[in-house]
């Protein structure tokens, strides 16, 4: 039978002195206080900020800075929403069995331009939940609907024109627009 070692309640563990130690961007300056049985240390960050951090958070690497790293590493306004839109277009193309060869650069050029057919500026918007902003965009029309998303086959397009064009090819769509204009003039 294994023997059980009982701790002696009168013997206290000597706390580790962490003053002067460096943890990622934080340097421990001094002991701050005890908070709910945790030792808290006042730390200075390389950016000049200060933060109070628990011993366990320093040792585990859970806290790496005063919070400045999150601000430095954050994506630009609307960028995560743009990434969501790009992923959604790729996913829908794959789901519908269409090729998708647009790079992020070409995709951005398409969706940030005005509608190829009517000239209206981008008016759709997407916002990824929990992200830092929305992304305003135009949709994309595949000029030849039987082909996928490629640089040569895609133009920026508003919702209305994309819906109106539907599955028509470019010549049919232009002919339809001409008939509407002639009928209403």
φ, ψ for residue 183 (rounded to 5)? -70, -30
Q: Over the stretch 98-118, which tens digit does the pLDDT of each residue have?
A: 999 999 999 999 999 999 999
- For every residue of 50-84, DSSP letters joined together read EEEEEHHHHHHTS--SSSHHHHHHPPPTTHHHHHH
Q: What is the pTM of this model?
A: 0.61
Predicted local confidence at residue 106, as pLDDT: 97
Structure tokens that stand for 6 in this block: 């009982």
- Mean predicted lDDT score pLDDT of the chain: 88
Residue 146, classed as helix, strand or coil, is coil
Looking at CATH, the fold of the domain delimited by 79-183 is given as Herpes Virus-1 (3.30.40)
The residues pairing with 51 across neighbouring beta strands, listed in sequence order, are 43
Domain ranges of the chain: 22-71, 79-183
Q: Over the stretch 148-171, which tens digit does the pLDDT of each residue have?
A: 999 999 999 999 999 999 988 889
Instruction: Tell me if 139 sits within 8 A of 112, measured CB to CB.
Output: no
């Amino acid at each position: 039978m294994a023997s059980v070692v009982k701790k002696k309640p009168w013997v206290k563990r000597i706390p580790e002195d962490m003053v002067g130690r460096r943890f990622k961007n934080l340097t421990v300056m001094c002991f701050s206080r005890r908070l709910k049985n945790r030792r808290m240390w006042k730390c200075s960050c390389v950016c000049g900020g200060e933060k109070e951090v628990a011993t366990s958070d320093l040792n585990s690497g859970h806290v790496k800075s005063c919070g400045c790293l999150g601000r430095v590493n954050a994506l630009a306004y609307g960028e995560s929403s743009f990434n969501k839109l790009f992923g959604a277009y790729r996913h829908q193309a794959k789901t519908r069995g269409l090729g998708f060869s647009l790079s992020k650069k070409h995709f951005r050029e398409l969706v940030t331009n005005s509608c190829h057919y009517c000239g209206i500026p981008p008016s759709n918007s997407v916002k990824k939940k929990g992200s830092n902003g929305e992304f305003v965009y135009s949709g994309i029309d595949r000029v030849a609907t039987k082909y996928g998303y490629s640089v040569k086959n895609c133009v920026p397009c508003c919702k209305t024109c994309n819906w109106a064009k539907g599955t028509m090819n470019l010549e049919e769509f232009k002919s339809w627009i001409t008939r509407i204009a002639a009928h209403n003039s």
